A and B are shown apart, each in its own frame.
Chain A
Amino acid sequence: MHDMSHAVHHGEPTSFIRKHVFSLDHKVIGKQYYGMALIAVFIAMVLSWIMRLHLGWSNLAIPGLHLLSKNGAPGDVPTPEYYLQLMTMHGTIMVFFVLTTAPFTAFGNYFLPIQTGAEDMPFPHFNMMSFWVTFSGFIVLISSFFVSDGPTLGGWTQYAPLSAAGAVTGPGQGWGVVLWAISIGLFCVGQLFGSLNFITTTLDMRCKGMSLMRLPLSAWAWFLTSVMGLGAFAVLMPAVILLILDHLAGTSFFVASNLVINDQVLPHSGGSTLLWQHLFWFFGHPEVYIALVPGMGITSHVLITNMRRPMLSHRVLIYSMGALVVLSYMVYGHHMFVAGMNPISSLAFSFPTLIITIPSTIIVLIWLGSLYGSKLRINSASLFALGFISMFISGGVSGFFLAQPSIDIMLHATYFVVGHFHLVMAVAAMFGIFAGTYFWFPKMFGRMMNEPLGKIHFWCSFVGAYCIFMPFHYLGIAGNIRRYQAMVDDYLVPLIPVHKFITIAALFTGAAQLIFLYNLIYSRFKGPKAPNDNPWEGTSLEWSTATPPPHNNWGDKMPVVYHDPYQYSVEGAKQDFIMQASPEPVHSADEEK
């Protein structure tokens, strides 16, 4: 590793703006990302409430909805197009501005430099821009609610030519799509800046004694995620640029010749429908792991601290996460089995998709095998980490089905897919976020969160999420198509009671998140002071520094690392753990050098 400390040295700011708004401090930027994700997740949750109410009771007036959009909800009942617009915004906000930002760029920004023993990230200006460009993207996306015919209705995947042929294809398909594409383009730029910083921090900024294998699993997860992000967002960005050109410059990248809408032949020719899908999913499948892998790292980190033991194998877990990174680029075609690709391609994409279950299984088995014989402590953080494992298993096994093109014939574009990705990517990632929040809150704010409220939050979320997303699978098996605003097909009408059950569960589970919000805000200002710098008796570097950490993370003395990240239950030690920065000797043949 190189000494790059000169590259990041920036004095402590004194003005309010440089301290809290345009800050170069990775910790402030991490909190900014978290704050944005918090706003985004509550917007997306309200959107999902409206969608769920409409799916259960399609004629139900939702009081006040017309205030959001007069045309979209005349008489407070959402129109078919407004349902799709809310659905598109829900998906886009969640995937990009919540599931990517909170576990990856929020916690990663705050804790990656600290866990590596750095003073900051190597390019603090890029880091500041990363947040503000991403935030601009969020504002642009939200602004599409306020253009004349509302946001785009094309779904978060924005399949062409629905997305590319312009306003003629439906409400929101003109400026709504352009704003969507600008927003995602900005998001890509922001994440590329972030990924560069994460990679360089990990490779070049580690403190003395911190070999790569001595990095905690959370740091490894953020590093691997940033590698994925660098490849994935670099592909999505040109795709959205081409999409914008199809709208504003009269090009035809994604629109084929001789298409007819409203009895008029469209003025496009020569574009490719499938090109968008290839570009989008080349990003889209790694994106699933971008949302998930940080949660794996956080879960592992939180669990280890609460199991009072390291994982059965630190290296195997890292290699397995690394395998997910590599394979994530080789499987994307499973989204396109019935999309018109050559059917041989479907088989070619099927096998890597099946093989990706092997590293995923190894990760689960290492977690389970490490729980065996541990000294598990139950608290809000560890409960959510355990919940993550349960959700990952449940969402993972449905991957067996969707990896096979022959079964995909029955399940493609049904609620089975929606249930699968919500459990494995959304709920699991959210549980990772919650575990991280309850765990690191004392370090970030110097106060403790309320444990009883945290546990109530866990129970409602855990049971609630299963009540919402398990029935999605049954609906999908019965052939319930996704992205329908009402069930009017003869064979779907009998399934409406299942939708009603799901809606009630979603309202309940969503309401329970207000407990979390209350706990977060109340504890931030009135929570009991953290008893010391290391309330969970952790070993990694974030627990060695002051609470909250000073501007340069370490004060006058840079840390030196002597041990593996997880020295728990060490025989002969003064306590049951030895911190990474403690020179106390560990007599273990297994220790990494």
Chain B
Amino acid sequence: MAKLVAVTIVVIAILSAIPIITHKWPGDISVGLPQDISTHGELIDEQYADTMLEAGISFLISQFLLAYFIWRFSQPKPGDKIRSFPGGATGLVVAAFLLVGTEVLALGVFGAKAWGSIYFTPPAANAMPVQVQAGQFAFYFRYPGPDGRFGPLHPNLISEANANFFGLDTTNDQDSKDDIVTAEMAIPVNREIHLLMHSKDLGHAFFVPELRIHQDFVPGLDLSVHFTATKIGKYEIVCTQLCGLGHFNMKAYLEVMSQQDFDNWLKQQAALQ
């Protein structure tokens, strides 16, 4: 029985590692990290890969040792004596501090660098501002128009029925007159975007896996992130913060376009306002 337990642990450990190494689940289903289309994502992916290597080795060695000790020490012969692990508890404590301590310190320091590359750097002065508003169960986007300024928001004017999703007063607020509101997000490739985030109602989140951007919307707080997309294509923006019965279906598309396509798209959207 003990040997079967040991073999099972080894088999489970190896089988568990295979999809991690191959990024595949049977049936050719991809289970790796989505492709990276951001300028900052490389640091995150490197950090992930380093962590996977260290966690993976720790996982396999620990499970194999557990299996081996179960195999080896479960059927003592009469007269067998208890033996102590070489080096005893002190050796193990020192090993844990040295090996794991160094490991986590390194992960922490390098991880801080990756984190800082996103959150500790201000957006470039020429970054293109886009505002996103989250609400049950849709995202809406706003572009400032030719004047480059967003008009103020009036929550009491928000009306789904009148398609005034942001609560703009285009009659009285000069800055709002040329604002462009859309249900999908488009951005030019290789141009830094300064995304200004607010929630209309509850907690939501803005997650584009390919963009390596993930940020909650916090009702009552104006938050922002900035990023540069490097690959033209259509990607999904999904909500990851439970926001009610339609949470699973709260999404929008992000289209990364050439500058020219984007300019055309923005003109078309302006004409629809």
Contacts and interface: CB of A to CB of B under 8 A. Distances in A.
Interface of A: 79-81, 84, 153-155, 159-162, 165, 169-171, 173, 255-261, 263, 265, 271-274, 307-309, 312-313, 316, 338-340, 343, 346-347, 350-351, 354-355, 357-358, 361-362, 364-366, 368-378, 383, 386, 389-390, 393-394, 397-398, 400-401, 403-410, 412-414, 455, 462-463, 466, 470-471, 473-475, 477-479, 481-491, 494-495, 497-498, 568-569
7 contacts: A161-B202, A274-B221, A368-B69, A397-B59, A406-B118, A410-B44, A481-B207
A225 B210 CA distance: 41
A410 B81 contact: no
Contacts of A364: 62
A369 B96 CA distance: 12
Interface in B23-50: 25, 27, 29-34, 43-44, 47-48
A171 B70 CA distance: 51
B111 A369 contact: no
A160 B212 CA distance: 26
Interface in B134-169: 135-136, 155-156, 158-161, 167
A406 B245 contact: no
Range for the number of chain B residues in contact with chain A: 35 or more
B58 A350 contact: no
B244 A491 contact: no
B266 to A, nearest CB: 25
Contacts of A307: 73
B196 interface: no
Interface string B210-222: 0011111111110
B66 A390 contact: yes
Given A351-B108, A374-B73, A397-B59, 18 more contacts: A80-B248, A81-B244, A265-B155, A308-B82, A312-B84, A366-B89, A371-B66, A373-B85, A376-B76, A378-B5, A404-B51, A406-B111, A463-B12, A466-B16, A478-B32, A479-B207, A491-B34, A569-B82
Contacts of B226: none
Given A265-B156, A471-B25, A477-B32, A378 B74 contact: yes
B242 interface: yes
A357 B73 CA distance: 27
B142 to A, nearest CB: 16
Contacts of A481: 207, 238-240
A506 B242 CA distance: 24
B81 A401 contact: no
B114 interface: yes
Given A153-B245, A375-B82, A393-B59, A354 B107 contact: yes
Contacts of B59: 393-394, 397
A368 to B, nearest CB: 5
A347 B115 contact: yes
A529 to B, nearest CB: 25
A414 B202 CA distance: 20
Contact of B205 (A260, A413, A484): A413
A84 B89 contact: no
B245 A81 contact: yes
Given A316-B89, A343-B119, A372-B83, A386 B246 contact: no
B211 to A, nearest CB: 10
Sort A-B residue pairs by CB-CB distance and give the 7 closest, nearest first. A256-B220, A373-B83, A313-B89, A343-B119, A406-B114, A369-B85, A81-B245
B21 to A, nearest CB: 11
B96 A358 contact: yes
A407 B66 contact: no
B194 interface: no
Interface centre among A159, A313, A374, A471, by most B CB within 10 Å? A374
A371 B62 CA distance: 13
B96 to A, nearest CB: 4
A85 B214 CA distance: 26
Interface in B228-262: 236, 238-249, 251
Interface centre among A80, A263, A313, A406, by most B CB within 10 Å? A406
B54 to A, nearest CB: 7
Contacts of B215: 338, 340
Contacts of A162: 202-203, 242-244
B124 interface: no
Contacts of B265: none
A343 B115 contact: yes
Contacts of B66: 368, 371, 386, 389-390, 393
Contact of A569 (B9, B69, B81, B216): B81
A390 B70 CA distance: 12
A159 B89 CA distance: 43
B122 interface: no
Contacts of B221: 256, 273-274, 340
A137 B132 CA distance: 41
A176 to B, nearest CB: 13
Contacts of B27: 497
A404 B213 contact: no
A366 B92 contact: yes
Contacts of A397: 55-56, 58-59, 62
A260 B43 CA distance: 38
Nearest to B3: A378
A372 B220 contact: no
A524 B161 CA distance: 64
A489 B220 contact: no
Nearest to B25: A498
Contacts of A373: 73, 82-85
A67 B110 CA distance: 54
Nearest to A257: B220
Contacts of B118: 406, 409
Contacts of A478: 30-34
Contact of B112 (A84, A347, A386): A347
A159 B242 contact: yes
B202 A259 contact: yes
Contacts of B209: 410, 479, 491
B269 to A, nearest CB: 23
A260 B155 contact: yes
Interface in B58-73: 58-59, 62-63, 65-66, 69-70, 73
B200 to A, nearest CB: 5
Contacts of B242: 84, 154-155, 159, 162, 483
Contact of B16 (A370, A470, A486, A497): A470
Interface stretch (B97-105, B172-180, B181-189): B97-105
Contacts of B111: 350, 404-407
A104 B74 CA distance: 29
Contacts of B43: 406
B125 interface: no
Contacts of B32: 477-478
B19 interface: yes
A403 to B, nearest CB: 8
A88 to B, nearest CB: 9
Nearest to B204: A162
Given A162-B242, A409-B214, A273 B62 contact: no
Nearest to A392: B62
B85 A376 contact: no
Nearest to B54: A400
A350 B203 contact: no
Nearest to A377: B74
Contacts of A470: 12, 16
Interface centre among B56, B119, B158, B238, by most A CB within 10 Å? B119
Given A375-B76, A397-B55, A159 B241 contact: yes
